[in-house]
Structure formats: structure tokens, C-alpha cells
Structure 1
Amino acid sequence: MSAEATTDDSAGILLVDDMEDNLLALEAVLGSLNEPLVRARSGEEAMKALLRRPFALVLLDVRMPGMDGFETAANIKRLDQTKDVPIIFLTGTEDEPGYAFRGYATGAADYVTKPFDPWVLRAKVSVFLELHRKNQQLERLLTRQRADYEEVSKRLTALEDELTEPQRAQVTELRHLLKGR
């Protein structure tokens, strides 16, 4: 699915793995979620994709040539526009036990070993997608509230401009009383 065809509510999932079979497996498991799935075959590709569009979640392989998963995660967390994107690390069971600690230390939200249980991975991803949707709703609500506040402020300013000096003094006094509460 193309990055341009998405909306804010379906920010999508970035799948980062250098192995085609792993990407196909992730797409098979997550396809039923009806969210855009965007592939990246390297840490460099992942960073470019993240700078082009928003994502609800990144599924990131630990072991990749060039920029590995840990370095990619550190770069994701360094950028203002991507620092809050949750990362689930994916790694083989033969990897070092310290990888999980290192993954969490670089800001991972979760750490899953391959082969993974498709139901568990889909459930975890679903939770992050729902959190993303709720955050989007909150952002829209805050934007509306800010616009409403600005409109009320403009109206009050216009009304205050029509007041006489004694009336303005009363308004100022009332504001001080309200702030004291």
C-alpha cells in the first residue's frame, strides 16, 4: 500500500527487516488488521520512510547489515517527529540474551523473538494501533478546544473594547477574584 493513500487515523505500521521471508510473514500475520503496511529493507530505508510519513508503530529486526536495529531505534528516538513512535524489536531466538535489555534501553516498547506466535504479535500490534487512534482523537479534540478558546478570547476582547473605563475596572477586579479561587 502506498504511503500517500493513508489518513491520519491509519498511520500504518513500518516493517523493517532485511529478509524478504520475514517481511512476507509479517504481512501475512498483520494484513487482517487493515492498516497500511510499509516495508523497509534496512535501517536507512526505515529512517527515510519515517521522515516521509507518520507511523503508529515500527516492527524492527535487530540484526541487519549496515545500520542494525539498535542503531536504527536510537536514530528514531533522537528525532522530534519520530521519538514517540513505539518500536517492537524482532529477533531470532539464537541472539544474545543481552539483546532484550539493549532493546529496551534504546527505547523499545516490546521485544519479540522469532519465530513468534502470530496471535500474540497481532494482539500486541492491535494495542499500539488503538493507542495511536486514541492519541489522534485527543489531538483533534485539543485542536478544536484551542480554536474555541481563541474565538472566545477574540469575542471578549471585542466586548471589552466597547466598555467604559469604570466597566473595564470592574472586569479586571472580577478576573482577579476568579484567579484567587
Structure 2
Amino acid sequence: MSAGPIEPCNILIVDDMEENLVAFEAVLGPLHQHLVRARSGEQALKAMLRQEFAVVLLDVRMPGMDGFETAANIKRLDQTKHVPIILVTGTEASADYAYRGYSIGAADFITKPIDPWVLRTKINIFLDLYRKNRQLASHAQQLDADRLAEISRRLTQIELLLRDSPETRTAALADRVAELERAMGAVLPGRAGRP
């Protein structure tokens, strides 16, 4: 069974210099993904609130909100906190750049001048993780839907039992209700173990 064509993912590229954005687009073009540009930290945050991204490629040195501050703001928002960030630094980057970046939640670093093969490899790893996480989330939703359908079926059985037999045995009904509560405990957080 074929999984079908792979949908392109969104990649956010953040740099204040046009020539760097063009270079990143040239390097990442062969991946055939949807590349979105931002020229500042503020533009990056706005873009992230408008659409979902698989990964962010973020320059550290920008005027105004620098890459560290932008990354920290991305990681503070519930909607964007799980998006991996690759910080891009110049060759003059000090050792404390790595500490600062990882402490605010950056997933990786890459140094200019960029090795195209290394950058595409890193981006591909994050794209694969993004797709697998989406598949897991979809699978979990399907399992929840199946469990809820089973609970609905059992509720219907209990309703029919009550409607059809006014003198229903209390023990049989109690057993069905307990079975239903166990099923609900498997689907609804906080319900497990409740009487």
C-alpha cells in the first residue's frame, strides 16, 4: 500500500539580509518544501502565528529583536513552543552562543559559511520528525474516535436495556455501568479509577 505523495512542509527562514535569504532558498530549494521568509524577529513571530512550521532557520545577529530573543519568544508561545529552531551563527560566535541557544530551547546550530549538504541533512531530519509526529497525532485521534464510538455503542445498549426491561436486574446494570466507566477511563484523562 502506497502512502501517497508527501505534502511539502513549511520552513521559516529568518535573516535580516536579503543575500542570506536568497542563499538559504538556493540551498533548501532541492528539498521541494514551502519556504517562508522573515526579515526580523517580529516578522518571524507573526508568520508563526499564521501558519504551522516544521522547522525554523534563525539568524542570531539581527537588529532589533535578535535571534536569541526571537527563539525565546517562539518557545514561550503554546502554539509554537514545539517547533525546532536551528540557530545560524557567524564564525565569530563565542562558546557562550551554544549555551545561550540551548538554554532557550534551540534544537541545533549551524555556522556560516553554510555547508549546503550539512544544512539540507539537518533540515531533512527535522522534516522527518515533524511528519512522524503528525502521523502519531493522527493515529491517536483515530484511536480516540474509535474508543468514543465504542462508548456510544455501550451507552446505547444500556439505554435499550433500561427501556426494554423496567425490572432490569440491578447487578447486570451495575456491571454494564462499571464496564462503561472503565472504557471511559481509557479515553478521558482523569476518569481512570473513578467509581
TM-score by length of 1: 0.88
Q: Percent identity?
A: 57
Larger Rg: 2
Matching residue's letter, 1:133: R
Is this contact kept in 2: 1:9–1:136, CA < 8 A? no
Q: C-alpha separation between the residues in 1 aligned to 2:140 and 2:66?
A: 37
Deviation at 1:34, TM superposition (A): 0.9
Alignment partner of 1:120 is 2:109 = no
- Over the aligned positions, Cα root-mean-square deviation in angstroms equals 2.3
SS at match of 2:56: strand
> What are structure 1's unaligned runs of at least 5 residues?
1-7
Residue 138 and residue 177 in structure 1: after superposition, are their counterparts in 2 closer, same or farther (change >3 A)? closer
Deviation at 1:171, TM superposition (A): 3.1
My pick for the range that moved more, 139-148 or 70-79, is 139-148
> Secondary structure of 1:54's partner?
coil
After TM superposition, the runs of 4+ consecutive aligned structure 1 residues lying more than 6 A away are 173-180
Gaps of 5+ in 2: 1-5, 162-167, 184-191
Q: For the residues of structure 2 that align with 1:169 and 1:107, how far apart are their CA atoms?
A: 50
Q: TM-score, normalised by structure 2?
A: 0.82
Q: What whole-Å deviation, never above 9, does each CA across 1:89-121 have from its counterpart, x for those lacking one?
A: 001101223112111111100011101211011
**Residue 10 of structure 1, CA deviation:** 3.2
CA distance in 2, matches of 1:170, 1:100: 59
Per-residue deviation, 1:66: 0.3
Distance, in Å, in 2 between the alignment partners of 1:10 and 1:59 is 16
Contact persistence 2:151–2:180 (CA under 8 A): no
SS of 1:162's equivalent?
helix
Q: Which has the higher contact order (CA 8 A, sep 6+)?
A: 1
Q: Give the drift of 1:169.
A: 3.2
Question: 2:30 — aligned with what?
Answer: 32
Aligned partner of residue 33 in structure 2, secondary structure? coil
> What is residue 41 of structure 1 aligned with on the other side?
39
Q: 1:41 to 1:176 in 2, by over 3 A?
A: closer
Report the counterpart of residue 174 of structure 2 in structure 1.
Answer: 169
Mark the CA change 1:173 to 1:107 in structure 2 (over 3 Å): closer, same or farther: closer
Distance of 2:49 and 2:180 partners within structure 1: 45
